[in-house]
Structure 1
Amino acid sequence: MIRNGIHHVTAIAGHARRNLDFYTRTLGLRLVKKTVNFDDPGAYHFYYGDAAGSPGTILTFFPWEHAAPGRAGIGELQETVFRIPQAALGFWTQRLMAQAPERSTRFGETVLSFRDPDGMRLALIGLPGIESEPAWESEGIAAECAIRGFHSVSLMLEDGTATGAILSDVFGFTEAAKEDGVTRFQVPGTSLGGIVDLRSVGGFLPARLGRGSVHHLAFRAADDAAQAEMVRKLAENHRIQTTEQKNRDYFRSVYFREPGHVLFEIATDIPGFAVDEPAEQLGQALKLPRFLEDHRATIEAALPALG
């Protein structure tokens, strides 16, 4: 079965407790996995999403308390956009007053744009007819108002032509619309994470990675075979080589820089976040990869307190 679209977005945060509070309390997302950065076990890796941790709903963070602020520019994922029921726009406008949300219209849809405490650019788009979709309820956010996964991401690039070719050829997107210098690519029939907007601009400084920046954007592959086919197309049709496959416990990944310099990942849907803990207990315990389990006591002592 072919499954296309966004798998997850991974960003850099500052203070871990502040990040956890904002995304689980203010935005009402579920903490679906609490683990560590496999390459830097002294830092957490938080995964937020829907009740099941479905691909297309997952926003993840590396909280590095002393990270310098990022700088916006070309060659980055500029904004991460979530879906909400259209009738919930008023609720979220009030709830996010401290974030000074700005209302606008894009491609005929109403958007609330705001930033998280570290300056990461976020938005909510109100959509009709999604009230009946499953929702994760949290304190102060009823099901009829809750976030329902990703709507889209926007990339800011010097020239999006080669990137658009990869979206179409490798990841199953089609060019759907253009508006105000933005080209929208969409996966037909995919509601969760099925849109990537490319904004081609010239004369801007390159982005600098830091607190509030997106580290990488991951696209879905149903399984290893689907991922391997994407890797083949990248090599044969676009002359781009990926890394070797890396086991991230909850998915298996390869990485590459797309022509606009954004770091892309291809992540398998399998095995999913319930592979090492029951679905009803997702995110409650600190989970470590097997190669770090013998160092649990040292790692737990070094991690920032979340209480």
Structure 2
Amino acid sequence: MSQGILGLHHITAMSGIAQKNVDFYVSVLGLRMVKKTVNFDAPDVYHFYYGDTRGTPGTIFTFFPFGDGPRGTSGAGQANITSFSIRPESMEFWIQRLTNHDIIFSGPEERSNNNRVITLRDPDGITLELVAHDGAEVRPGWQDGPVPREHAIRGFYGVTITVKNHTLTSALLTDVMGFRLLEQNGRRYRYEVGEGGPGAIIDVMSQEGAQYGRQSIGTIHHIAWRVANEDELVRWQTILANTGLQVTEVKDRNYFKSVYFREPGGVLFELATDPPGFSIDESLENLGTDLKLPDWLESSRSSLKKQLPSIQLPVFER
């Protein structure tokens, strides 16, 4: 039986200095490094996966750290904001934590459903939100990081994209991919998919006059949506191709299989399988501690380690 698209799987962005990226997402935001590997398409660049204790789909924020490369610009045809879930009781904790780390933020701002939102930027200028909402405690965060478990980030709340023509994007989301329009607020259209709620939300900003973004350091590369297994992935590959979209062949990313395509507004989407997950080559206890390579790159391990910058994972007292 078809299960459709289930929600967010991961979001991938492009960052600068690798160590700064690690220090911010692990030491400040308290996400776990669940996998340290390389960009399979450019293996001289790391691919970091951050998430909850287990690396659960819907919690995974990933980065390609390119070092001192050119900076990108955020605009139309891109995902622009990554939103995380926190408990309402954690808002004051996060205000104090960001203040203590000298991180500039705005808010909290009241949003729909009585949610309160803090907006901030990471070291490379990527816009993030911490959304305090009822029910966030249902999803656990990283249990053993620097943030007390009761205040930990609980995975994605949603993602915001900007497009010039909302109509075409909306048609793909609702008529093809199974999303439902939840609400419209001015030029912002909110959709959900699967069971809905946090982790299954996309906001589409319709800005006809916006400039297209330039993809490089400090921008989001793509959004990945969850599907249950490879059979579902292939089914969706066919459905999307039949609409006229250019869909890639199935890619084996070791921890999931996936296909890529651009929605009509230019944003790069991916569909990714839940299995096999991040524990196929490391124990749960040791996730993210060693450099992991696909079999076809193992023969190049020594040369790759010389090319990749050295990084140190933060160590926390338990």
Conserved in 1, the CA contact under 8 Å of 2:191 and 2:202?
A: yes
Residue in structure 2 matched with residue 137 of structure 1 by the alignment: 143
Say if 1:43 and 1:63, in contact at 8 Å, map to a contact too: yes
Q: Does 1:51 align with 2:53?
A: yes
CA RMSD of aligned residues (A): 1.5
CA 1:77–1:242 in structure 2 vs 1: closer, same or farther (change >3 Å)?
A: same
Answering whether residue 266 of structure 2 is matched by residue 261 of structure 1, we say yes
Aligned to 2:179: 173
| SS of aligned partner of 2:58 | coil
Aligned counterpart, 2:155: 149
* 1:1-307 correspondence to structure 2 within 5 Å: 2=3, 4-97=6-99, 98-103=102-107, 104-108=109-113, 109-131=115-137, 133-187=139-193, 189-236=195-242, 238-307=243-312
**Does the CA-based 8 Å contact 1:57-1:192 persist in structure 2?**
no
CA contact (8 A) 2:84 2:130 kept: yes
Determine helix, strand or coil for the equivalent of 2:237.
Answer: helix
Distance 2:133 2:34 in 1: 25
Given the superposition, is the C-alpha separation of residues 188 and 291 from structure 1 closer, same or farther in structure 2, using an over 3 Å criterion?
closer
DSSP 3-state at the match of 1:93? helix
- Sequence identity percentage: 44
Shift, 1:188, TM fit: 5.0
TM-score by length of 2: 0.92
For residue 289 of structure 1, what is the amino acid of its counterpart? P
Q: Aligned-pair distance for 1:133? A: 3.6
Does the Cα contact within 8 Å between 1:184 and 1:197 map onto a contact in 2?
yes
Instruction: Report which stretch shifted further, 289-298 or 102-111.
Output: 102-111
Q: CA deviation at 1:156?
A: 0.6
Q: Deviations over 1:110-141 (max 9, x none)?
A: 11010000000100000123335423134541
In the superposition, relative to structure 1, how do residues 129 and 7 fare at CA in structure 2: closer, same or farther (>3 Å)? closer
TM-aligned CA deviation for residue 274 of structure 1? 0.7
In the TM superposition, what is the alpha-carbon distance from 1:276 to its structure 2 partner? 1.1
String of CA shifts for 1:10-41, please: whole Å, max 9, x gaps: 00000000101100110000100000111211
Which stretch of structure 1 is more off in the superposition, 98-107 or 86-95? 98-107
Write the distance in 2 (CA, Å) between the matches of 1:251 and 1:140: 28
Matched to 2:245, the amino acid is I
Q: What is the CA distance between 1:289 and its match in structure 2? A: 0.6
Aligned AA (2:156): F
Q: Matched residues in 2 for 1:173 and 1:137: separation?
A: 32
Query: Structure 1 stretch 135-144 or stretch 58-67: which is displaced more?
Result: 135-144
- What residue ranges of structure 2 are gaps of 5+ in the alignment? 313-318
TM-score (norm 1): 0.95
Q: 1:144 is paired with a residue of what secondary structure? A: helix
Do the aligned residues in 2 keep the contact of 1:175 with 1:186 (CA within 8 Å)? Answer: yes
- Alpha-carbon offset, residue 180 of structure 1: 2.7
Long gaps (5+) in structure 1: none
How far 1:107 moved relative to its partner? 1.9
Q: How many residues align?
A: 306
